[in-house]
Amino acid sequence: MSAELAKAYDPAAVQAEVAKVWEDEKCFHAEPTDPGEPYSIVIPPPNVTAALHLGHALNNTLQDILVRRARMQGKNAVWLPGTDHAGIATQTVVEKRVLKEEGKRRTDFPRDEFVKKIQAWKDEYEQVILGQLKAMGCSCDWDRCAFTMDEARAKAVREAFFQLFKAGLIYRGKRLVNWDPATLTALADDEVENREVDGFFYYLKYPLADGSGTITVATTRPETMLGDTAVAINPKDPRAAALKGKFVKLPIVGRVIPIIEDDYVVLPVSLGGDPADTKAQMATGFLKVTPAHDPNDYDIGQRHNLPIVNVMAPDASISDKHGWTDGIGDAGFLLGKSREEARKLVVKWFKDNGLLEDQKPYRHSVGHSYRSHVPVEPYLSDQWYCRVTDDRLRGAALRAMDKTQITGGTGFQPMAESEHGLKTHATDGGLKFYPDRYAKTYQTWHENIRDWCISRQLWWGHQIPTWSFDAGTEQDVREALVYIQRLESEDRAAHGNFGEAQTLHVCLRYEDDAQAANYLESRGFRRDPDVLDTWFSSGLWPLSTLGWPESPAHRLADSPLSIWNPTSVLCTAREIITLWVSRMVMFNEFFLRKIPFKDVFVHAMIQDGEGRKMSKSLGNGVDPLDIIASHGTDAMRFTLASMATNTQDVRMPVEKDPATGKNTSPKFDLGRNFANKLWNAARFALMQIESAGDKSVAKAAPTTLDLWILSRFSRTVAECDDAMANYRFDQYARACYDFFWRDFCDWYIEAAKVQFKDPAQKASTAHVIATVLDASLRLMHPMIPFVTEKLWWRLNEVYPNRGIEGWINAPVNARRPGTEGVSERVICAAWPTPGKTDETAEAILGHLQELITGIRVARNDYKVQPRQSVTVTIVAPACGAEQIEKHREIVESLATCRIAAIAIDTLASPPANAAKITAGPCEVYIEGLVDEAAEKQRIARRREELTKSIAAMKGRLSNAGYIAKAPANLVKQTQDQLAAAEAELSSLSAGGGE
RNA sequence: GGGCGAUUAACUCAGCGGCUAGAGUAUCUCCUUUACACGGAGAGAGUCGGGGGUUCGAAUCCCUCAUCGCCCACCA
C-alpha cells in the first residue's frame, strides 16, 4: 500500500514506479489471436544516426495517444517499434567518427570490418533511441521490436527484390545520377542540398563548321564543353532558319556537332524572351548541349538522338577513359585535371584564342552533396532502377486513394485483370489523408513520378542480390544459362539482360542459397557490390514488421500480417509523404493487394520561436530527455498534444534553462502545471473519499451539482471522441484541460466542499467525486499516462470495488470485459463512453455561476478583502429564486457572502447603502459598499457596454434584409437580448448611478 | 517557377458564415482561505496583415497585394 501522496507531483518517482509495472505486466504486448477489433500502428522508424529530438517526441506522443486509446476501447491494439539503418546518413557519421578518432578512411578497412564499426554505432544509438521511447512512455510492443537490417527484415527485402525483379519491375539503367565525386556514390535527390554560389556566366564563341562566322553560347560550366555534342537554338529564334542544318566545330576538341532546334532553349530578352527571367537576361539564345553532364541536356540528347560523351572520371577529373572515344583533339593538356582546374584552363584557352566574348558574375544555386559537401556532378552511370512508373506500382498507389480526396481524376483506372494477371484489391481506395490537403501532395507526386534509382555505392545497407556476368568465356555463359534456367524452374532465381551489351544479371532469391552463388561465381559472375536505397527496406516496413514473407503454413492462420495489415493509421511528418508513404503504398499494394494503412495522419512540424526548423547546426533543438527531467514526461506530452493543431507548422520559443544551461521552452509549463493541478485535485478528492468512511451506506439522491458535473463530463467525452476521430489532438487536450480545471476543480470541487460538510451528502458526494475522478483519469490517460495511472491505483486503494453503475446515470463504463486478468492492476481498463447530458442542471449551474461571478467582480471592484464577507440581497425570477435558495450555501461559500434575503421579481425597499449589480437574470444588492468613485466607474463602464451593444442590435434589427432572411430564432434572440439590455440600462439610470 | 500553410491580445495559439472574438503565458490588483503559489479571485489588453468583392450578416467564403515559412521542381 503506497503512502500518502506527495504535496507536489514528482514526475521522476511516479514515472519509474509506473513504468516498472507496465513492463512487468507486459501491458503492451498483443497477439493476433487476442480478442477485439484489430488496431495497429507501425512506428516511423527513427534513424540510428542520432538520438531523438522534439519532432520525434511529438510524433511518438501522438501515436501513443492513439494506440493507448484504442487499447482502452477494447481493441486488439499493437504498436510496432523499430529503427532504420539510414544507409548514407549512418555510414557518413561513422566515417566522420573513424576519421576523427583513428585518422583512417573507410577505404583503409576491408568492407566487413568497416561494416562492423557501423554496426557498433547502430547498436549504441538503437539503445539510446529505444530508451528514449520508453522514457516518453511509448506503449510499444517491445517484443516485436524491429530494425530495417535485421534478419527478418533482410529476408523481406530479399523476397521483395526477387519478386519485383521477376516481374520485370527492376532493371539496370544508364542514367544521369547525382554523383558525389568525393565519396564516389550516387545520391538520391533528397540527399542533395542546394547552396547559393557566386560564379560566372562565360560567353564562348564556337566557329561554324563552314567558316561563315561564330555563334556564342553562355555557360556557367565551361569545362563541360569538351563533351558537347550539339548546340541548340529555339525554333522561334529568328536566326534559326539561317542556321538550319549547319554545324559547329567545337573548339579545342575539334568535334563537328550539329545545330539543332529545341524549344527548351530560352530566348534572350532582345528576341522576345521574358524580361523578368534571369535566364533570358543572360542568355544568348544558343545552348551548348552536353548530354553526359547535365540532366536537361541529357533529355535534349534523347530527343535528338545525340551521342553522349562522358569526359570525366568518377572523381570528376577530366578523362578520356570513360566514354570519350571520338578523339580528344587538342584537349590533352586537360586530361587528369580536376573540374575546377579544367574550368580555369578552358576559359584561359578561349581567352588566348580570342573566343571568350564575355564573362559576367552570376549567383546561382548549385547542388552539393549532403555527405561530402562538394558540388554534385550529374554523372552517367549504371544503376539499378525500380520501374515505379509501371501501373502495378504507380497506378496502384493512385487507385489506393480515397475517392473523396482525388482531385480531377488520376487518369489511372483500375487495371484489367488480364493485363498483368493480377487484380487490385476488391475495395479500391480508402487511403485517407488527415488533413486532407496532403492527398494532393501525394497525388501530384505520383502523377509526375520517375523511375526510382535504388542502388547506392555504399557498404551500409542491404547488398543487392544480383550477380552479373563479369569476366568469363562464352562457354561459361552458355553453361550458366542452362543452370540459371534450372534455378528459375525451381523459383530460386530470375535473370535479365541489361544495357547496350545486354549483360546477363541474375537475381538469387534466397540468402542461404550458397550453392547457386558459388556456381555463378565459378563461372565468372560477380555479385553487385552496391546496396539498396534505405527507402527500399523502409518501404516494406508495414509488411516486414508483421512477418512478411510468411511461410505457406502460416498464411491461413491468424498471423500478425493477416490481422494487423492494413494498419490503422500512419502518423508522420509531411516531408516524407513522397519518399516513404508512397513506397509503402506501392509495395503493400504489389505484394498483398492491400493498402498498408487506412489513414495517413500528417502532423505539424515544430519550429523554434523564429519559425526556423530545429536543427543541431542552429543549436535551437530541444532534447526531449531534458524536458522530461525538468518538467516530467506527462507535461511534455500534454504540451505537445495541445500544440498538434491542424496547421503545417507550430512554433515553440526556445530559451536557455538558467539552472541547467540547456534548451527548454516556457510552453512546457502548461503541461507541468496541468499535471500538478491534476495531482492535487486528486489528492484532495482522495482525502475526502477516505474521510467519507463507509461507502456501502445508502446514498442520497444526486444533487443538481452532481448531475451537472456528470453532464459536463459526458459532453467532454463526446468532444474528445470527436477530436480523436479527426486526429485533432489539440482539441482533445483542450477539452480535457477545460473540463478538468475549469468545471471540475474551479466549480465542482469548490462547491462540493459545501456538500461534504453535510453528513447526509457526504457519502454520495464522495461517490460522485470518485466517479468523475476515475473517468477523468481514464479519459486523459492516453495523453498523460504516468500521473493518471498512479492516481488511479491510489483511487482503487482508497475506494476499491466502487460500483459506478446504479443509483446515478453514470456516464462511464467501469471496466472492459475480458481484461480482468493481465491488466487488472492498470488503467488500460476502459475508455469512457459519453452518457446522458442534463440540460436542466447545466442551465441552473450556469445561472449560479453568473450570480457568483457577478458578486466576485463587484467585490473586486470595490476592493473588498478576499476573506471579508459581504451581505447581499438577491432579487431573482421565481424559478431562479428557488434554485438560489436551494444552493444558498454554495453561493455563500464561493462568492464569500452572506445572503440576507432572496426576493422574487422585485424588492419593496432596497437595503440602504448598497451597491446594485446585475448578474445574469438576478439583481444583487451588496451592502456596505460605499466607494462612490468605484461605483460610478463601474456603472459608467457597464453603461457604455450596454449602449454599444444596444446600438449594434438595433442596427441589425432595423435592417430589413436581416428580418427577412436570417433564421427566425436568431432574430428572436436578438430581440430578447435587446429588450434585456435596454431594461438593464434603464435600471442603471434609475438606480441612481449619477 | 509550381504547390501548401501562416498572418487574430505583448508571446504561443484556438475559433473557420450568426452570442459583446476566446485560451494559456506574460502584465496589473488583491489573497500564503488546511488540494494545489506549478495556486485562487479579478482586471487591462485585439479596426482578426492591407485592399476589394459575395452576403441580411465576414476573423470565417471569393479575388488581390504584402510579409514570413515549408515542400517540390529547376538552375545555360
CA–C1' nearest nucleotide, residue A685:
B35
Q: Which residue's alpha carbon is at the shortest distance from the C1' of B2?
A: A444
CA–C1' nearest nucleotide, residue A981:
B20
Q: How far is the CA of A734 from the C1' of B14 (A)?
A: 9
Q: How far is the CA of A544 from the C1' of B16 (A)?
A: 42
Taking 70 as the threshold, does the pLDDT of residue A275 lie above it?
no
Residue A171 and residue A498 in contact, taking contact as beta carbons nearer than 8 Å? yes
Q: Which residues of A85-100 are buried (b: 16+ CB within 10 A; e: fewer)?
A: bbbbbbbbbbbeebee
How far is residue A636's CA from residue A727's CA, in Å, rounded to a whole number? 19
Residue A20 and residue A96 in contact, taking contact as beta carbons nearer than 8 Å? no
CA–C1' nearest nucleotide, residue A746:
B40
Positive or negative torsion for Cα A487, A490, A492, A493: positive
How far is residue A223's CA from residue A252's CA, in Å, rounded to a whole number? 11
Q: Which residue's alpha carbon is at the shortest distance from the C1' of B16?
A: A646
How far is residue A309's CA from residue A332's CA, in Å, rounded to a whole number? 16
pLDDT reported for residue A617 = 67
Q: How far is the CA of A613 from the C1' of B50 (A)?
A: 28
Only one residue has cell 544480383, namely A466
Q: How far is the CA of A102 from the C1' of B33 (A)?
A: 68
Q: How far is the CA of A942 from the C1' of B9 (A)?
A: 21
Q: Which residue's alpha carbon is at the shortest distance from the C1' of B33?
A: A867
Positive or negative torsion for Cα A908, A911, A917, A920: negative
Q: How far is the CA of A83 from the C1' of B75 (A)?
A: 36
Q: How far is the CA of A81 from the C1' of B11 (A)?
A: 37
* DSSP label at residue A748: I
Residue (of A711, A740, A735) closest to A834 by Cα position: A711
Count Cβ atoms below 10 Å from residue A888 Cβ, excluding itself: 15
Q: How far is the CA of A911 from the C1' of B16 (A)?
A: 49
**Mean pLDDT score of chain A, rounded to an integer?**
85
Taking 60 as the threshold, does the pLDDT of residue A49 lie above it?
yes
Q: Which residue's alpha carbon is at the shortest distance from the C1' of B76?
A: A219
Count Cβ atoms below 10 Å from residue A497 Cβ, excluding itself: 12
Q: How far is the CA of A649 from the C1' of B68 (A)?
A: 12
CA–C1' nearest nucleotide, residue A612:
B69
According to the 3-state scheme, what is the secondary structure of A434-455? Answer: ECCCHHHHHHHHHHCCCCEECE
Residue A471 and residue A102 in contact, taking contact as beta carbons nearer than 8 Å? no
CA–C1' nearest nucleotide, residue A437:
B4
Q: How far is the CA of A611 from the C1' of B6 (A)?
A: 10
| Partners of A83 in the β-ladder | A147
Q: Is the ipTM here above 0.85?
A: yes
Q: Which residue's alpha carbon is at the shortest distance from the C1' of B20?
A: A949
Kindly report, residue by residue over A779-792, the tens digit of the pLDDT.
Answer: 999 999 999 999 98
Residue A122 and residue A90 in contact, taking contact as beta carbons nearer than 8 Å? yes
Distance set, CA A922 to CA A847, A876, A882, A916, A980 (Å): 9, 5, 12, 10, 12
CA–C1' nearest nucleotide, residue A946:
B20
* DSSP label at residue A700: P
How far is residue A476's CA from residue A484's CA, in Å, rounded to a whole number? 12
Least confident range from A124-138, A401-415, A798-812: namely: A798-812
Instruction: Give the torsion through C-alpha atoms of A568, A574, A576, A581, to 10 deg.
Output: 30
Taking 70 as the threshold, does the pLDDT of residue A376 lie above it?
yes
Report helix, strand or coil for A77: strand
How far is residue A715's CA from residue A688's CA, in Å, rounded to a whole number? 26
* DSSP label at residue A525: E
Kindly report, residue by residue over A434-485, the tens digit of the pLDDT.
Answer: 988 888 888 888 888 888 888 888 888 999 999 998 777 888 888 889 999 9
Alpha helices in A815-965 (DSSP H): 839-861, 878-886, 888-895, 932-957, 960-965
Taking 50 as the threshold, does the pLDDT of residue A819 lie above it?
no
Q: How far is the CA of A7 from the C1' of B30 (A)?
A: 26
Cell of A761: 451528502
Taking 60 as the threshold, does the pLDDT of residue A424 lie above it?
no
Q: What angle in degrees, to the nearest 10, is found between the helix axes of A785-798 and A633-643?
A: 120
CA–C1' nearest nucleotide, residue A283:
B76
Q: How confident is the model at residue A153 (pLDDT cuts 50, 70, 90)?
A: very high
Report helix, strand or coil for A614: coil
How far is residue A844's CA from residue A705's CA, in Å, rounded to a whole number? 9
Q: How far is the CA of A573 from the C1' of B3 (A)?
A: 17
Only one residue has cell 541474375, namely A506
Residue A10 and residue A52 in contact, taking contact as beta carbons nearer than 8 Å? no
Residue (of A912, A935, A943, A911) closest to A862 by Cα position: A935
Residue A380 and residue A206 in contact, taking contact as beta carbons nearer than 8 Å? no
Q: How far is the CA of A660 from the C1' of B22 (A)?
A: 35
**Backbone φ, ψ for residue A385 (5° rounding):** -125, 150
CA–C1' nearest nucleotide, residue A440:
B3
A247-249 and A493-498 beta bridge pairing: unpaired
How far is residue A460's CA from residue A117's CA, in Å, rounded to a whole number? 10
Helices and strands (H and E) in chain A: how many: 32, 32
Least confident range from A114-123, A574-583, A892-901: namely: A574-583
CA–C1' nearest nucleotide, residue A279:
B76
Q: Could you say which nucleotides of strand B lie within 7 A of any protein CB atom? A: 3-6, 11-15, 18-20, 24-25, 29-31, 33, 35-44, 55-57, 68-76
pLDDT reported for residue A412 = 52
**Residue A132: which residues within 8 A CB-CB, separation 6 or more?**
A51, A52, A56, A624, A625
Kindly report, residue by residue over A158-205, the tens digit of the pLDDT.
Answer: 999 999 999 999 999 887 888 888 878 877 766 777 777 778 889 999
H/E element, A395? none
CA–C1' nearest nucleotide, residue A965:
B56
CA–C1' nearest nucleotide, residue A652:
B12
CA–C1' nearest nucleotide, residue A631:
B38
Q: How far is the CA of A922 from the C1' of B67 (A)?
A: 50
Q: How far is the CA of A402 from the C1' of B49 (A)?
A: 36
Least confident range from A225-229, A461-465, A635-639, A923-927: namely: A923-927
CA–C1' nearest nucleotide, residue A273:
B76
Q: How far is the CA of A607 from the C1' of B6 (A)?
A: 13
Q: What is the mean pLDDT of residues A961-977?
A: 87
**Residue A10: which residues within 8 A CB-CB, separation 6 or more?**
none
Q: What is the mean pLDDT of residues A17-32?
A: 88
CA–C1' nearest nucleotide, residue A285:
B76
Residue A736 and residue A772 in contact, taking contact as beta carbons nearer than 8 Å? no
How far is residue A602's CA from residue A580's CA, in Å, rounded to a whole number? 13
Q: How far is the CA of A737 from the C1' of B22 (A)?
A: 15
Residue A383 and residue A466 in contact, taking contact as beta carbons nearer than 8 Å? no
How far is residue A812's CA from residue A821's CA, in Å, rounded to a whole number? 21
Q: How confident is the model at residue A16 (pLDDT cuts 50, 70, 90)?
A: very high
Cell of A454: 535504388
Least confident range from A131-140, A822-831, A963-972: namely: A822-831
Cell of A838: 442534463
Q: Which residue's alpha carbon is at the shortest distance from the C1' of B23?
A: A734
Q: How far is the CA of A660 from the C1' of B40 (A)?
A: 31
* DSSP label at residue A140: -
Percent of chain A with pLDDT over 70: 91
- Which segment, A432-436, A607-611, A720-724, A918-922, is predicted with the most confidence on average? A720-724
The beta-carbon contacts of A739-744 under 8 Å, at least 24 apart in sequence, are: A739/A712, A739/A713, A739/A776, A740/A674, A740/A677, A740/A678, A740/A681, A740/A776, A740/A780, A741/A674, A741/A677, A743/A709, A743/A712, A743/A716, A744/A681, A744/A709, A744/A772, A744/A776
pLDDT reported for residue A823 = 42
Q: How far is the CA of A178 from the C1' of B66 (A)?
A: 38
Q: What is the mean pLDDT of residues A964-985?
A: 85
Q: Which residue's alpha carbon is at the shortest distance from the C1' of B35?
A: A684
CA–C1' nearest nucleotide, residue A967:
B18
Q: Is A408 left (phi over 0), alpha (psi -120 to 50) or beta?
A: left
Kindly report, residue by residue over A284-332, the tens digit of the pLDDT.
Answer: 889 999 999 998 898 888 888 899 899 999 889 999 998 898 888 888 9
pLDDT reported for residue A810 = 46
pLDDT reported for residue A696 = 57
Taking 50 as the threshold, does the pLDDT of residue A921 lie above it?
yes
Question: At residue A523, what is the residue type?
Answer: R
CA–C1' nearest nucleotide, residue A609:
B12
Burial of A72 (0-12, 13-18, 19+ CB in 10 A): buried
Taking 60 as the threshold, does the pLDDT of residue A414 lie above it?
no
Q: How far is the CA of A217 from the C1' of B1 (A)?
A: 24
Taking 60 as the threshold, does the pLDDT of residue A834 lie above it?
yes
Residue (of A111, A157, A151, A86) closest to A507 by Cα position: A157
CA–C1' nearest nucleotide, residue A376:
B75
How far is residue A382's CA from residue A174's CA, in Å, rounded to a whole number? 5
Q: Which residue's alpha carbon is at the shortest distance from the C1' of B36?
A: A680
Q: How far is the CA of A115 from the C1' of B24 (A)?
A: 50
Residue A782 and residue A768 in contact, taking contact as beta carbons nearer than 8 Å? no
pLDDT reported for residue A90 = 85
Question: At residue A139, what is the residue type?
Answer: S
Q: How far is the CA of A866 from the C1' of B33 (A)?
A: 8
| pTM confidence score | 0.89
**Backbone φ, ψ for residue A649 (5° rounding):** -135, 150
